[in-house]
Amino acid sequence: MGEGQNHTDAELPGVFRGKEAQSTPQITGGQYNKTLMSTQGEFCMILPKFFALSGLLVGCLISFGARAVQTTAFGCGTKPIRLAYYDYGYFHFDNGRGIDPDVVNELKRRTGCKFDTQVMARARIWADLASGELDMSVSGIRNAERDKFAGFANYLSMKNYALVQKNVATQVHRGEDFVATKALQFGVVRAFKHGEKQDQWLDQLRQEKRVQESADVETVFRKLKEQRVDAMYSQPPAYRRNIDVLGMQNDVVVQDWTPGEKGVSLGLILSRRRFSDADVVRWQALLNAMRADGTLKRIFTRYLPPDEAGKMLDY
């Protein structure tokens, strides 16, 4: 055809005139449907992955939010809780082993709170809790003076039992028997409180100059092993540890001289400078849940016979 001639659309390779139109392929109805179905299939394959990732993201956000609410509820805040242990029998020994570290580790797991721990003397612990240098400690006994600067969340009960020389225990079964045998000596830790009835009984022995006082519990146990004293008071976590260390399993007999007296409750000590009364209530509820689900008993029985561990749960 020459210049100036007209063309119909049917004569053209495409809808449009020119070179571009010639390079544009035609898509038939069948080809369109096939392409659409392929695209839909790919989309359907991607869609579940999208929702799975969305679900994971939502789950992470919910978990993060729950953890944030949880740690806030216990007064954890953004700074680690400054907590002090003290070495005492199976409560704490060997740089981080014992009942109290096991309890704190479980609390950490359940709350998500962070802890900065150290070992200190008990007198220093009480002073630092009062000043706010410490936030928390363990196995503390509540009284009116301590209530001024700390709240308490109990998790065990402890009672003092009499440890009697095995040869003496054949004749001595009660405190009255010990008092009646005038040659016998009793060992105590200086300034240590044992319980109302037990301290009254010791005052009677002091009047007869039959009480030997020592600076620490380890010294009293050594005196008992060496038979320089005939009996002493101690609590299960303390005497089980010292009996094991000194190899005294066959040297002493454990007796309950005050069967009608209940043990004293011990618990977490929470400085009021960091924790509110509501926080203390939440920590107590958490510890009670650990008792109910058997966690506390499992911890106690790692170090103590089951019967003694069971009695400690009556706080």
> If you average pLDDT over residues 13-25, what whole number do you get?
40
Band (195; pLDDT cuts 50, 70, 90):
confident
pLDDT at 24 over 70: no
Q: Alpha-carbon distance 7 to 244, whole Å?
A: 111
CATH topology of 81-157+265-312 equal to that of 161-255? yes
Which DSSP state fits 93? B
The reported pLDDT for the residue numbered 71 is: 58
Residues facing 186 on adjacent strands: 211, 231
Which tens digits make up the pLDDT trace of 241-286? 999 999 999 999 999 999 988 899 999 999 999 999 999 999 999 9
How far apart CA 257 and CA 223 sit, in angstroms, is 21
Q: What pLDDT, on a 0 to 100 scale, did the predictor assign at position 38?
A: 52
Query: Residue 77: what residue type?
Result: G
Window from 21-25, 104-108, 136-140 with minimum mean pLDDT: 21-25
Q: pLDDT (tens digit, 9 = 90+) per residue, 121-176?
A: 999 999 999 999 999 999 999 999 999 999 999 999 999 999 999 999 999 999 99
With beta carbons less than 8 A apart as the criterion, state whether 163 and 239 touch: yes
Percentage of the chain beyond pLDDT 90 is 73
Asked whether residue 290 carries a pLDDT value surpassing 60, the answer given is yes
Give 161-255's CATH code, choosing from 3.40.50.300, 3.40.50.720, 3.40.190.10, 3.40.50.80.
3.40.190.10
> What is the predicted pLDDT for the residue at 72?
65
What rounded mean pLDDT belongs to the chain? 84
Rg of the Cα trace of the chain?
A: 37
Predicted local distance difference test score (pLDDT) of residue 41: 52
> pLDDT at position 178, please?
98
Nearest alpha-carbon partner for 137 in 101, 110, 166: 101
Q: Give residue limits of the domains in the chain.
A: 27-67, 81-157+265-312, 161-255
User: What pLDDT sits at residue 194?
Assistant: 86
Taking alpha carbons only, the member of 222, 144, 160 closest to residue 192 is 160
| Out of 59-68, 137-146, 204-213, 264-273, least confident range | 59-68
Categorize the per-residue pLDDT at 10 as very low, low, confident or very high, splitting at 50, 70 and 90: very low
CATH architecture, domain defined by 81-157+265-312: 3-Layer(aba) Sandwich (3.40)
The answer to whether residues 113 and 81 touch, using CB atoms and an 8 Å cutoff, is yes
